[in-house]
Amino acid sequence: RKEVEQDPGPFNVPEGATVAFNCTYSNSASQSFFWYRQDCRKEPKLLMSVYSSGNEDGRFTAQLNRASQYISLLIRDSKLSDSATYLCVVNDNNNDMRFGAGTRLTVKP
Amino acid sequence: DVKVTQSSRYLVKRTGEKVFLECVQDMDHENMFWYRQDPGLGLRLIYFSYDVKMKEKGDIPEGYSVSREKKERFSLILESASTNQTSMYLCASSFQTGGVRQYFGPGTRLTVT
């Protein structure tokens, strides 16, 4: 079983749609959680950290469910520019960052 | 703005060649990392370094070595390149250990023929 699992997609949604991705992790000792965004042929860049109480950044909302060991990312009012691969990253406060393989999102006009 | 640069965007090498991938960061970060990224597998850690001349093995160190002679520079070495090392190589840095943001370089797409 992979340590961090994501649905690879692709998720194809129209502009303006709401889309959600989940990510499950296997290490119950994990302490830090992130969503990174990776555009085609580019490097990953931090989208947002995920806090225990959940957090929002504009159209993006991240949630953490420790009991079920998953994190989620919700994107509201999707834009064409949201098309990318979204990587779930989990860390146990060592230098042990575990990356999911990513979920590909395509937003269509 | 943090900048992490890698020496090449694309590289083609022959089987058995020694390959050097260079990474430089300009933010005085303590920690530097080398990953490879393959479709369906995500990023896998090859080696990391938390200080000059210090290195730690990641999940897949076999066939690789690293060098960190200066704080800003972290090199990945493929001693004898093989076709299964064809991949995207990403360098990253962070200012401390633990669950903090990593900053990535643009990546080097290496093809070994």
SS3 B34: strand
Does position A1 have pLDDT exceeding 70, yes or no? no
Q: Do A93 and B102 touch (CB under 8 A)?
A: no
Residues B22-32, mean pLDDT to the nearest whole number: 94
Q: Do A97 and B102 touch (CB under 8 A)?
A: yes
**Is residue B26 left, alpha or beta, with left meaning phi > 0 and alpha meaning psi from -120 to 50?**
alpha
Does position A55 have pLDDT exceeding 80, yes or no? yes
Confidence category of residue B98, pLDDT binned at 50, 70, 90? low
- Closest to A23 in 3D by CA, of A38, A34, A10: A34
CA distance B66 to B7: 15
Does position B25 have pLDDT exceeding 70, yes or no? yes
pLDDT tens digits for B55-94?
999 999 999 999 999 999 999 999 999 999 999 999 999 9
Tell me what pLDDT residue A35 has.
97
CA distance A19 to A11: 8
In chain B, the residue whose alpha carbon lies closest to the alpha carbon of A33 is B99
